[in-house]
Amino acid sequence: MLAFSNQILLLLLAVNAYLVGKPLLQLAEATTRFPRCIANASTLQECIGSAAAVHATESFGSSLFGTSTTPARQVGMRSEFIHRDKLSGSTATTFQRLQQAIRRSNSRALRIGSRARAFSTNSTAATSRLLYDFTTPLESDQFQPEYLMQLQLGTPVTTFHAIADTGSDLVWVQCLPCLQCYKTNDSIFDPSNSSSYSQISCSSQACQALGSNQLPACSNGSSCPYLYGFGDKSVTIGDLSNDTVTMNTTTGVSVSLPIAFGCGHNNSGISFSNDSGGIVGLGRGPLSLISQLSSVLVQEQFSYCMVAFEVSIKTNSPVLFGSAAALSGLDILTTPILDGPIPSFYYVGITGIDVGGSPLQIPGSSFNSSSAGTIFDSGTSLTYLEANAYAIVKSTFASLISLPTVGGPESGPLLCYDTSSQPNFQPPSFTIHFLNGSSLSPPPANYFISVASSILCLAIGNVSNLQNGPSTPSILGNILQQNYHILYDLSASQISFQPATCDAL
């Protein structure tokens, strides 16, 4: 509790410094302020009010920076998702890695649920952007990202590994000088070393795009202070700034592009990985990487292709932007992106599920996007379904599989079977039907996983088992998506997918 109290103290001091118009780093004389708030973490939102809100819903023009004729516009750009186990040099077996991934997946789903609860309980126009429930108990060893991206920032470039997140909007990194920075093996950005760095003014279009992430002290002519909070009491506070991000085109040409990013001087909490220097937001908001790159891309779109989990320890997953992200050939399926309670997320409409070739009688309300809905998510490994849908899916698989059930990983509960009597066992088929008539029928490895020798588990969980409420969306996780090329087309507001051999893309 002491460590958390110190974190809250630093957070409140930073907010207070902005409120009185002081620079972020001149806080020494403010150490006795806000004693009432520090006493109890549950009063955090009361202390900082609307400044704790995250993820603006406003939009602005097509670009922060106008148009560009860089090579990226013609050929698109390429990056990679790097699995955390590869980056950290993990020596765990595939079974051990899967069990660890399940624990992290449960924690991320819990955080998504925390975020959804905050939206559902603050639904009025004045408070709809109050994001996170700061009272949710979480364990730090479970909060590590699945995938990271290499980010090259500044002139000359500083290279980071930042958490890749389709559920976040802001691109931010840790910056010197630090009021409080979490421990990391990665770089910390020094703005004084970058000739292309500048702070963004409070009156700028980019600063206005922060919405309620912008701290109240922001006034015309001043810098643009921000605060982003996360569902586990993690925070980043700093200045919205300009610099260049260097990326490679698909022809191997390096291009430097202007970007608005968060230069975080106070970053703390268990959301952040020791192997990362920040977050690359790939969500739908105006400050996400893909939204900002729209000025230099023919199309506002990106795609990724997740390699199979067992090879992710040695092979990265390609991420493509602009024209390079487009799908081609046969078997392309498309479904619209829907608006949902959380503006950053990529919601889709599910119209039905089949198991073993037979449609299940799942109530339509299970996937209603106006209440909870269903999202595609890059950071959650398992797939999670609403309670009623999960119960029907689970019971149907159980009725079709005659193998003995066994206890799953300690991080369960999952439906698991002992396959030792049938080493070549093939599970029943599984199909998800989407709006527009598209259907995803993945191979068994995308919905049944081997967590130990002869132990096969359904890689689908009940989102309600994680103490989540009815506002938590169903989540289509990255194991379900592996070896599918997934296209997020923000211009057309649709998601497309196509079977692929991702490690050959």
- According to the model, what pLDDT value does residue 342 have? 86
- Is residue 24 scored above 50 in pLDDT? no
**Residue bearing the bigger pLDDT, 135 or 214:** 214
**Cα 275 to Cα 161: distance, rounded to the nearest angstrom:** 7
* Cα pseudo-dihedral 473, 477, 481, 487, rounded to 10: 50
- Is residue 33 scored above 50 in pLDDT? no
Does the annotation mark 141 as catalytic? Answer: no
Which of the residues 133, 165, 186, 232 is marked catalytic? Answer: 165
Mean pLDDT value of segment 385-402 = 96
**Cα 501 to Cα 443: distance, rounded to the nearest angstrom:** 13
Contact 293, 281 (CB under 8 A): no
Which of the residues 232, 354, 377, 489 is marked catalytic? Answer: 377
- According to the model, what pLDDT value does residue 424 have? 92
- According to the model, what pLDDT value does residue 493 have? 96
- According to the model, what pLDDT value does residue 274 have? 73
Sheet containing 350-355: order of strands: 358-359, 350-355, 430-434, 439-440
Each domain of the chain, given as residue ranges in start order, spans 50-93+126-311, 324-504
Contact 289, 298 (CB under 8 A): no
- Is residue 426 scored above 80 in pLDDT? yes
Q: Which two tokens stand for residue 114?
A: 């925390």
Give the Cα-Cα-Cα angle 429, 333, 294 (nearest 5 degrees).
Answer: 135
Confidence band for 34, pLDDT divided at 50, 70 and 90: very low
- Is residue 30 scored above 50 in pLDDT? no
Q: Which two tokens stand for residue 191?
A: 């703005």
- The CATH topology of domain 324-504 is Cathepsin D, subunit A; domain 1 (2.40.70)
Q: What is the pTM of this model?
A: 0.84
**Cα 490 to Cα 504: distance, rounded to the nearest angstrom:** 26
**Cα 413 to Cα 151: distance, rounded to the nearest angstrom:** 36
pLDDT tens digit sequence for 326-348 = 999 989 999 999 998 888 999 99
pLDDT tens digit sequence for 256-304 = 999 999 999 998 765 566 778 889 999 999 999 999 998 788 789 999 9
Residue percentage of the chain with pLDDT more than 90: 54
- According to the model, what pLDDT value does residue 248 have? 92
Mean pLDDT value of segment 449-472 = 84
- Is residue 142 scored above 90 in pLDDT? no
CATH match for 50-93+126-311 among 2.40.70.10, 1.10.3720.10, 3.40.50.1970, 3.40.630.10: 2.40.70.10
- According to the model, what pLDDT value does residue 112 have? 85
- According to the model, what pLDDT value does residue 392 have? 97
Same fold, 50-93+126-311 and 324-504: yes
Question: Chain-wide mean pLDDT for the chain?
Answer: 80
- According to the model, what pLDDT value does residue 61 have? 32
Give the Cα-Cα-Cα angle 148, 92, 313 (nearest 5 degrees).
Answer: 40
Number of C-alpha atoms within 13 angstroms, CB side, residue 505?
31
- Is residue 125 scored above 80 in pLDDT? no
- Is residue 230 scored above 50 in pLDDT? yes
SS3 216: coil
- According to the model, what pLDDT value does residue 122 have? 54
Does the annotation mark 489 as catalytic? Answer: no
Least confident of 224-228, 333-337, 490-494: 224-228
Least confident of 72-86, 113-127, 218-232: 113-127
pLDDT tens digit sequence for 147-201 = 999 999 999 999 999 999 998 899 999 999 988 888 888 889 999 999 999 999 9
* Cα pseudo-dihedral 497, 54, 170, 479, rounded to 10: -30
Sequence-distant (≥ 6) Cβ neighbours of residue 410 within 8 angstroms: 99
Least confident of 29-43, 157-171, 352-366: 29-43
- Is residue 57 scored above 80 in pLDDT? no
Phi first, then psi: give them for residue 348, nearest 5 degrees.
-135, 165
